[in-house]
Amino acid sequence: MDEPRTERANEMALIALVTRVHEDVKALNAALTTHIKDEPEALKAHIDKVLILAFPEGDVYGHRVAHEAQIRAVLAKAEFWKMLRDKLAGAGLLGLSGLLLSMLWIGFQANLHKGN
């Protein structure tokens, strides 16, 4: 006769376990529903805070435009110095060639006058 009591005790324990799981699932469902509802707002608030801290007055577009202007200025400066270096090198070669030719001409003239 202990068998019906044991079965009844097992059934009661199983019902208690199922009830507990059901309560846990309901609590998890409530927490998840709240999280799904609140997360976008929390994320938006965090993104807004980051934008304000990272960019002056949260102006992402102005920040990008400023960087683009800085990049253009650096590229223009590099191009200017390259052009200046090329022009100076060309002028230096022309000046050196002129100096060598004039020295040759002076030497040639001196040799002509020596012979006379």
In angstroms, how far apart are the furthest CA atoms of the chain? 152
| DSSP 8-state code for residue 41 | H
pLDDT digits (tens, 9 = 90+) for 19-57: 999 999 999 999 999 988 989 988 999 988 887 888 877
Does position 114 have pLDDT exceeding 90, yes or no? no
Q: Say how far apart CA 88 and CA 41 lie, in whole Å.
A: 62
The residue segments making up the domain with residue 27 are 1-54
For residues 9 and 50, membership in a common domain is answered with: yes
Q: 27 is written with which tokens?
A: 């609590």
The answer to whether the predicted template modeling score (pTM) of the entire model surpasses 0.75 is no
For residues 47 and 96, membership in a common domain is answered with: no
3-state DSSP assignment of residue 1: coil
Domain total of the chain: 2
pLDDT digits (tens, 9 = 90+) for 62-93: 889 999 999 999 999 999 999 999 999 999 99
| DSSP 8-state code for residue 49 | H
